[in-house]
Amino acid sequence: MRRRHALGLVASLPGCAVAQTQPAPAETLRSIARAAGRGFGAAVRADLLGSDAAYAALFAAEAELLTPEWEAKWVALQPEEGRFDFSHLNAIITFAQANRQRVRGHALLWQEAIPDWVKAALAEGPDRARGVMEAHFAGVLGTTRQHIRDWDVVNEPIANPPGADVPQAGDNPLRETPWFKALGPNYIEMAFRTARAQDATLRLTLNEYGIEESTPDAEEKRRRLLALLRRLLDKGCPLDALGIQAHLQMRKPFDPAPFARFLDQIRAMGLAILITELDVREPDTLAEGIPARDAAVAERVKQFLDVAVAGGCRTVITWGLTDRNSWLGNEPGVLRRDGATTRGLPFDEELRRKPMWQAIAGALRG
């Protein structure tokens, strides 16, 4: 087992190796956020909670909020029609209970991580599609209501404009997902109304990415998102919050002003603002040496989070905690061409705090 550097005795779970211990760190992102009346959390993986004691202990110490990285997605929860499997998600819920943490749901409706049987059902037409959506929401929200009070109901509905990493052809402002094709543009409103019908007090969040930087495509994506949110709210659609993923890219410029204006418009709609999937992709040309690289990442994170917190964001969630298990190091589409490991999270592969940890701490104290 790798050496760990910041642990108290974690509340252990069946099958979760118990970590023997160093004195608990005086301050964690969890305690700093709480002291400032904010919340800090991270995306977590059930398989690693059960197999990596150091990983588990780090999450117990640093995170007050947990987002299942995969376990609350359709492919995990309803792999076959009518057969629900909450085993992976329950492992995270049980861990959270043992460590006095909250769990966010991610995501009820998305164009990815859906089983083939759903894709086939959606192709059968709107009535079948609506039935499948309603049955899934009823099954999932009915089972998790006691433990999960906040869900990303619809994830990534806005089409990527020209100039974005993966642009959608044509001028449809909405992403042409299987849900869009089966149910038309109203599928988004339908999803929120279906979730609200299941639970009168659940926080309903719309989650999106590519709306952070000061590039023309990000500006256009913000414009499209604002138009969608206004349309939904004007129709009385139940919607409580916007989740800003914040997979930041240092090869793209970040200007605080347009992002701050965007947050003002979101807040003026009465929506809460959350940072839901923060991590950083370093520039194509890396600075010389780890300290310089980490300092540059920390600077971008601090600049971004200072605007977000000043703009009313009270919840910051990173997409993982350690470079050891980041999708940035696994996902073929985002792997670095130079083979370097992206250092886009607050802890390094040895679970040591990085300058990014200080940047997040500073912004949360903000």
C-beta of 115 vs 139, nearer to ligand G3I: 115
Q: Which is nearer to ligand G3I, 189 or 277 (CB)?
A: 277
Contact window for ligand G3I (CB under 6 A) among 68-76, 115-123, 211-219, 234-242: 68-76
Applying CB under 6 A, the site for ligand G3I has a residue count of 11
Read off the DSSP letter of residue 236.
Answer: T
334 φ, ψ to 5°?
-120, 0
Shortest Cβ 153–ligand G3I spacing (Å): 14
Three-state SS letters, 113-127: CCCHHHHHHHCCCHH
Name the minimum Å distance from CB 125 to ligand G3I: 26
Smallest separation, CB 112 to ligand G3I (Å)? 6
Q: Does 112 bind ligand G3I (CB under 6 A)?
A: yes
Looking at the Cβ atoms of 76 and 301, the one nearer to ligand G3I is: 76
Minimum CB distance to ligand G3I smaller for 81 or for 112: 112
Nearer to ligand G3I, 49 or 190 (CB): 49
Name the residue among 364, 288, 324 with its Cα closest to residue 64.
364
Residue 164 CA, distance from chain mean position: 20
Is the CB of 187 or the CB of 209 nearer to ligand G3I? 209
CB of 245 to ligand G3I, least distance (A): 5
Does residue number 73 form part of the binding site for ligand G3I (CB under 6 A)? yes
Sign of CA dihedral 210, 214, 220, 222: positive
Under the binding rule (CB under 6 A), the answer on residue 86 touching ligand G3I is no
78 lies in the site for ligand G3I, by CB under 6 A: no
Alpha-carbon distances of 12 from 17, 152, 184, rounded to whole Å: 7, 28, 47
Regarding 277 and contact with ligand G3I (CB under 6 A), the answer is yes
Residues 197-236 vs ligand G3I: string with x where CB under 6 A? ----------------------------------------
DSSP assignment string, 256-277: HHHHHHHHHHHHHTT-EEEEEE
Rounded Cα distance between 364 and 32, Å, is: 7
- With contacts defined by CB under 6 A, name the span among 23-31, 69-77, 127-135, 290-298 that binds ligand G3I: 69-77
Instruction: Provide the minimum distance between the beta carbon of 281 and ligand G3I in the complex, in angstroms, as a whole number.
Output: 11
332 burial via Cβ count (<10 Å: 0-12, 13-18, 19+): exposed
**Residues between 12 and 51 that touch ligand G3I (CB under 6 A):** 45, 47
CA gap 301, 307 in Å, rounded: 10
CB of 289 to ligand G3I, least distance (A): 28
Tokens of 286: 């890396």
Closest CA to 22 of 43, 6, 40: 6
**44/94 Cα distance (integer angstroms):** 13
Closest-CA residue to 111 (of 47, 182, 162, 15): 182
Residue 271 C-beta: closest distance to ligand G3I, Å: 19
Q: Which residues make up the interface to ligand G3I (CB under 6 A)?
A: 45, 47, 69-70, 73, 112-113, 245, 277, 327, 331
